[in-house]
Amino acid sequence: MSSRERSRVVDAALRSLPSLAVFVVGLVVWEVWVNVRDVPAYLYPSASEVGSELLAEGPSLAADDLRWTMIEAVLGFLLGSFAAVLTAIVFVHAKFIERVLFPWAIVLQTVPIVAVAPLLTIWFGFTLQPKVIIAALICFFPVLVNTTKGFRAISSQALELMRILSATRWSIFWRLRVPSSLPYVFAGLKVASTLSVIGAIVAEFTGADRGIGFVIIQASYRLDTRLMFAGIALSSAAGVVFFNVIGALERLALRWPDARLEQ
Amino acid sequence: MTGTGIAIDGVGMQFGGGQGVTALDGIDLHISAGEFVALVGPSGCGKSTLLRIVSGLLEPTSGRVDVSGKTPDEARRDVDFGFVFQQPTLFPWLRVLGNVLLPDRVLGRRNPNRGPHREQVARELLRDVGLERFEDHYPGQVSGGMRQRVALARALSYDPKILLMDEPFGALDEFTRDRLNLQLLDVCNKTGSTVLFVTHSIQEAIFLADRVVMLSSRPGRVTRIAEVPFRKPRGLEVRYEPEFAALTGELRGLLEVEDEVELARRQL
């Protein structure tokens, strides 16, 4: 690691210090509040109790249930994003198809995922499919909207330049539309990455025999709030990791100055 | 390299149908091979529209354009044109050298400059416009003037027969503009391309061109075609010649008359 890279790592760590401080303060407030109010532990476990639960159960939960949830989420993410990018390509080249189909994409977005999940469980049973499909459905819209916008985010002069060079549609697509859409595509993928985990867990609620959603639902039947908190903490941590993996890919793909869109 | 002439006959352009705006009306202009012609006129006189008609990007509503026996569209398909836009229009994800090589990548086998040395050709062009040290920079890392020079190098990279320039230096400061004007004359002197150059600066037009064409606004009509009496190559000092001042004054006078007519028309 060069000294410049190291100083960048140090900078990043220093920048995230305030956020970490907020996290620590939150834990302390939680711990103190539970102890001072003397609330029943089965309703509100303290931060330290959840911590010890995580230490005890965390590794096996992560190796088994969280792994399944993330497989479902990532597969759904890939499927939904892929479908969304393909749809965006069609939309950009056939305005008519966009006019016909885009309203239905919005309808699809407004359908409550929680209501669709039980239906898919009836059709597919306690298998991988309903989870992947729900995760894919939830990823589809943000990627579609961003990618379509990205394909269109080119100046009329850039298009005229390509026409002066008598470029083919194919060439305009690969050399102009795809690179200029990438910042938008990644903005959509980052949103989709966190949503995909939520989608997988919601699908697990309606019928599963493993996964973090399954663990949380089972724990709720037993009023095991400690395990529920542990599941919540693990799944959101996994979501954060997924988000950051996509962020790292984005930094690798978008190397030119001011490429990344402000979030 | 041989240039290519352009014959513009009775070209008119109307936007928005019958009741629409007449951008150009009965434009006649013959440009010989290797000639440098500047189009000057107030904003909104259809200068840019005329460039787009000549290059086949727009279809005129009347009249015809002939580019050495071809229609503009055919000439565009044969990649006879280089176009420098008002904005540099570089691809921000390509480095400076990559932007100059873009036409080669798009044209493939159709590039007349294609060969094992095409990167060398691009490097030489960048040197001609004074950017040899910036090949590996991204457009976002260089100044506006430099970006416009990259755009010029890109337009020249495939030896277009005709160079069309749409107020390319309009957004730049005076010093940068002077330097780029000199570089442009130098490059054109080497390549012998036919140039059609749009500007709203009378001084820039006289300094660069063999002939200056004045256009009126709404509708755009040719009001005067002036021969520029200076030989090429020219230095910046020609601007202090009495003939330069006289021609500038004469053309500016035409613009002012134009303004008064416009003003009177609005008051009616």
Structure letter (DSSP) for residue B227 = E
B145-196 pLDDT tens trace: 889 989 999 998 888 889 999 998 887 888 888 888 888 888 888 888 899 9
Q: What is the pLDDT of residue A262?
A: 63
Q: Closest Cα of chain B to A157: distance in Å?
A: 7
| Euclidean distance between the first and the last CA atom of chain A, given in angstroms as a whole number | 29
Measured between CA atoms, the residue of chain A closest to residue B151 is A161
**Identity of the residue in A155, A161, A256 whose CB atom sits nearest the CB atom of B83:** A161
The verdict on a CB contact (< 8 Å) between B55 and A164 is: yes
| Pairing label, strands B211-215, B36-40 | parallel
CA geometry: angle at A46 spanning A43 and A49, to 5°? 105
**Identity of the residue in A158, A255, A257 whose CB atom sits nearest the CB atom of B89:** A158
Per-residue pLDDT of chain A (263 residues; tens, 9 = 90+): 566 677 777 888 888 888 889 999 999 998 898 888 878 878 888 888 899 999 998 888 888 899 999 999 999 999 999 999 999 999 988 889 999 998 888 888 888 888 888 899 899 988 899 999 999 999 999 999 999 999 988 888 999 999 999 898 899 999 999 999 999 999 999 999 999 999 999 999 988 889 999 999 999 999 999 999 999 999 999 999 999 999 999 999 998 887 777 65
Q: Which residues of B touch A259 (CB under 8 A)?
A: 92-93
* Closest C-alpha among A234, A161, A236 to residue A193: A236
User: CATH: 3.40.190.10, 3.40.50.1100, 3.40.50.300, 3.20.20.80. Which one for B1-80+161-176+189-268?
Assistant: 3.40.50.300
Sheet with B162-166: strands ordered across: B81-84, B162-166, B194-199, B36-40, B211-215, B222-227
Q: Is B133 an interface residue toward A (CB < 8 Å)? A: no
The verdict on a CB contact (< 8 Å) between B140 and A258 is: yes
Distances (CA, A) of B147 to A44, B104, B159: 62, 19, 20
Q: Are A187 and A263 in contact (CB under 8 A)?
A: yes
Burial status of residue A7 (CB atoms within 10 A of its CB: 0-12, 13-18, 19 or more): exposed
Q: Closest Cα of chain B to A164: distance in Å?
A: 6
Cis bond upstream, residue A103 (ω within 30): no
Q: Which residues of B touch A179 (CB under 8 A)?
A: 91, 93
Residue ranges per structural domain of chain B:
1-80+161-176+189-268, 90-159
Res B223 pLDDT > 90: no
CA geometry: angle at B214 spanning B247 and B64, to 5°? 145
Give exposure, B244-258, as e/b (b: 16+ Cβ within 10 Å).
Answer: beebbeebeebbeeb
Residue type, B56: G
Q: Closest Cα of chain A to B86: distance in Å?
A: 9
B92-136 pLDDT tens trace: 999 999 999 999 888 887 776 666 778 888 898 898 888 889 989
Burial status of residue A115 (CB atoms within 10 A of its CB: 0-12, 13-18, 19 or more): exposed
- pLDDT over 90 percentage in chain B: 21
Q: What is the pLDDT of residue B193?
A: 85
**Identity of the residue in B94, B102, B140 whose CB atom sits nearest the CB atom of A257:** B140
Interface of A with B in 160-179 (CB under 8 A): 160-167, 171, 175-176, 179
Class of A49-253 per CATH? Answer: mainly alpha
Q: Is A256 an interface residue toward B (CB < 8 Å)? A: yes
The verdict on a CB contact (< 8 Å) between B93 and A167 is: no
Q: Which residues contact A34 (CB under 8 A, 6 or more apart)?
A: A44, A45, A46, A47
**Identity of the residue in A175, A256, A258 whose CB atom sits nearest the CB atom of B105:** A175
How far is C-alpha B162 from the geometric centre of its chain's CA atoms?
Answer: 9
Q: Is B15 an interface residue toward A (CB < 8 Å)? A: no
Residue B1: pLDDT band with limits 50, 70, 90? very low
Compute the mean pLDDT over every residue in chain B, rounded to the nearest whole number.
Answer: 85
Spell out where chain B has E strands: 6-15, 21-31, 36-40, 62-67, 81-84, 162-166, 194-199, 211-215, 222-227
Residue B53: pLDDT band with limits 50, 70, 90? very high
Q: Is B76 an interface residue toward A (CB < 8 Å)? A: yes
What values do phi and psi take at B170, rounded to 5? -60, -30
Residue ranges per structural domain of chain A:
1-38, 49-253
CA geometry: angle at B249 spanning B243 and B252, to 5°? 140
CA geometry: angle at B230 spanning B227 and B235, to 5°? 135
Following CA atoms B157, B160, B164, B168 in sequence, which dihedral angle do they give, to the nearest 10 degrees?
Answer: 10
Distances (CA, A) of A38 to A43, A44, A81, B90: 11, 10, 47, 66
What values do phi and psi take at B58, rounded to 5? -125, 150
B136-146 pLDDT tens trace: 999 999 988 88
